[in-house]
Structure 1
Amino acid sequence: MKTNSIQLITTTAIMIALIIILGIFPGIPVGFLPVPIILQNFGIMLAGELLGPKRGSLAVIIFLVLVALGFPFLSGGNGGLASFVGPTGGALLSWLVTPLMIGSVLKLSWWKASWWREWLVLLLFGVLWINLCEVIWLATLFHFGIIKALLAEMVFLPGDILKASLSVMVARRLRKILPHQFSM
């Protein structure tokens, strides 16, 4: 096996491990919603930034398959197929394409130039995409209605914006010090 292939497999495995580690931290209950505030979306966004659309999506898909098989890798030690049809299902399903969208837009050369552009990509295709999927999921699953679900989802925005900012800072720093491992 080539050294480059080993690096690709290793960085993908490290990203899966990071997403799993972020699930060790318990979610912060919101109270009026059955969905807690979690750290794992930080790892999902970071996968798209560092690994690109293909490998980032692969890492998240492997993670979600492990969760579906029952491994307790979600925040609070949850796992299994029930996670995909319960209150957190909207976020989990949105994670399937989040790294693909983030990585694809960031591969365009004119997006790579500035911190702000990268942050905007994460806001649009990370934060807003995940939150929109959660709104639709909650409105459908719990019969909230779109407006009520949208208003309830606002509680997640400050933390998600902070996670997107942190993701940009970490990704840009890692790409600077390890350019061969994280070049998309």
Structure 2
Amino acid sequence: MKTKDMVIVAMFAAVIAVLGMLPAIPVPAIGVPFTFQNLGIILAGCLLGRKLGGLSVLLFTVLAACGLPVLSGGRGGLALFFGPSGGYLFSFPLIAYLIGWLTEKRFQHMNVWQVFLVNGLIGAFLCNLIGGTFMAFNLGMPLMTAYKSVLVFIPGDLLKSLVAAFVAVKLRAVPSVRRYIEPGMTYGSR
């Protein structure tokens, strides 16, 4: 991996951590807060592509598991991965990778709504499906009850998916930015 790639991965992990400084909104009864960090997870996938996006989110997740206070509310530690929100934390690198994989090949030809569709399906629905499944097993609740309780996250996650799509498409249009973040491009080749 080139030095520029490592810097991009580290910087985007830092962006995700900074999004954790925004206060989490607790959701009563399910123990999983509404956070803004999944906006960074979605952006990592659609801006950096599958490889660098997935690596940046994996780095962020490893830092959180090591105990660094990078999660919303200044939380961190391995225990969080085995609590009610563990499914979300485990799914983050996969979500970034899948969004990157689905967008990087056709990104130059995708508009905001097409990127939003990918972001929404993966970043909102799949993330909550994985998170809800893990939460059900963790809390010993019926699977359908868990799925119903995570429905509260879908509108906000869809809004974050739309914001990420808008930002990604607009940044793609800026030549000085595009050469560093263009999905599917070999970053070390320039």
| Global fold match (TM > 0.5) | yes
For 1:79, the equivalent position in structure 2 comes to 76
> Does structure 1 residue 155 correspond to structure 2 residue 175?
no
Find 1:10's aligned residue among 7, 11, 16: 7
Partners of 1:16 and 1:130 in 2: how far apart?
18
Partners of 1:96 and 1:183 in 2: how far apart?
19
Percentage identity across aligned positions? 38
> Does structure 1 residue 32 correspond to structure 2 residue 26?
no
Partners of 1:111 and 1:157 in 2: how far apart?
27
For 2:94, the equivalent position in structure 1 comes to 97
Query: Please, which runs of 5 or more residues in structure 2 have no aligned partner?
Result: 184-190
**How has the CA–CA distance of structure 1 residues 108 and 52 changed in structure 2, closer, same or farther, with 3 Å as cutoff?**
same
Partners of 2:17 and 2:107 in 1: how far apart?
32
Query: Please, which runs of 5 or more residues in structure 1 have no aligned partner?
Result: none
Q: Deviations over 1:19-48 (max 9, x none)?
A: 000111121011121001000000000000
Find 2:39's aligned residue among 42, 51, 66: 42
Tell me, yes or no, if the aligned pair for 1:106 and 1:112 is still in contact at 8 Å: no
**Segments ≥4 residues shifted beyond 3 Å:** none
SS in 1 for 2:181: coil
SS in 2 for 1:76: coil
Q: Could you tell me how far 1:147 is from its partner in structure 2?
A: 1.3
Q: Could you tell me how far 1:13 is from its partner in structure 2?
A: 2.1
For 1:60, the equivalent position in structure 2 comes to 57
Q: Deviations over 1:58-109 (max 9, x none)?
A: 1011111111111011011110100110111010011121111001111232
Cα-Cα RMSD = 1.6
TM-score (norm 2): 0.90
How many equivalent residue pairs? Answer: 181
Moved more, 89-98 or 168-177: 168-177
For 2:85, the equivalent position in structure 1 comes to 88
Q: Deviations over 1:112-158 (max 9, x none)?
A: 42221111101111111110011101111112111111111111111
Q: Could you tell me how far 1:111 is from its partner in structure 2?
A: 8.0
Q: What pairs with 1:123-138 in structure 2 (closer than 5 Å)?
A: 123-138=120-135
Tell me, yes or no, if the aligned pair for 1:51 and 1:103 is still in contact at 8 Å: yes
